[in-house]
């Protein structure tokens, strides 16, 4: 099984392309954001540490972590972003190891692991991956996609600003894919790469 990290900035099409490809036999998909959000739940491994760092102002009325409030904090404060990543990313890597084992047992041929920060976070264990695919589209197209997905304008602008300097490292294991245009075309480009990977 090949483990392929799918990275890139917000609105590049990571989720859409991964979901489209995961409908095909032999292709699995793990969303690192979903793994991270599971750690935030009350009783989850990151819950108390996040509460200790960010305070009770980030709680919902039911006691869960308000991810929108947390996002506002981390997109406006680089130290808060770093602190959250230091808490959550190592836990996500542990969960990802279990997902990789599960997909191996299922006989998955290609496992797409989606995460915007797979190539930039110091807490990501890159040895878990065979290769990385970096999806990239012009900022205006990414803005349109995020707005069409229902993300509020202020949040879109904050995400784009926070990720403006996000770029792929130059490495033999990183493949750049133009993700502009219709999602089906982008999925075809990525599928062609997967076939090249074997």
| Residues 111-167: tens digit of each pLDDT | 999 998 899 899 999 999 999 999 999 999 999 999 999 988 988 898 888 888 888
85 close to 117: Cβ distance less than 8 angstroms? yes
d(CA 72, CA 143): 17
Whole-Å CA distances, 182 to 91, 112, 136, 178: 34, 20, 13, 11
| Residues 41-78: tens digit of each pLDDT | 999 999 999 999 999 999 999 999 998 899 888 888 88
d(CA 118, CA 110): 17
Q: Please, what is the Cα angle at 57 between 51 and 60, to 5 degrees? A: 85
Question: In this predicted structure, what is the pLDDT of residue 76?
Answer: 84
Question: In this predicted structure, what is the pLDDT of residue 74?
Answer: 87
Q: How many domains does the chain have?
A: 1
Q: What is the pTM of this model?
A: 0.90
pLDDT at 198 over 80: no
Range of the domain at 8: 2-197
Indicate which CATH number applies to the domain containing 73: 3.40.50.300
């Amino acid at each position: 099984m090949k483990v392929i990290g799918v990275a890139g900035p917000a609105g590049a099409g990571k989720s859409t392309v991964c979901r489209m490809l995961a409908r095909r036999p032999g292709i699995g998909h793990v969303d690192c954001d979903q793994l991270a959000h599971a750690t935030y739940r009350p009783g989850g491994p990151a819950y108390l540490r996040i509460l200790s760092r960010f305070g009770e102002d980030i709680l919902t009325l039911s006691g869960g972590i308000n991810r929108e409030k947390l996002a506002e904090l981390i997109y406006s404060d680089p130290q808060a972003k770093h602190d959250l990543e230091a808490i959550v990313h190592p836990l996500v890597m542990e969960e990802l190891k279990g997902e990789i084992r599960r997909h191996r047992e299922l006989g998955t041929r290609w496992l797409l692991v989606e995460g915007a920060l797979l190539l930039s976070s110091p807490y990501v264990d890159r040895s878990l991956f065979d290769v990385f695919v970096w999806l990239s589209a012009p900022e205006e197209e990414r803005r349109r996609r995020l707005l069409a997905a229902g993300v509020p304008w202020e949040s879109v602008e904050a995400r784009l600003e926070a990720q403006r300097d996000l770029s792929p490292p130059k490495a033999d294991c990183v493949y750049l894919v133009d993700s502009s245009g219709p999602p089906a075309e982008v999925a075809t480009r990525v599928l062609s790469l997967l076939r090249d990977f074997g």
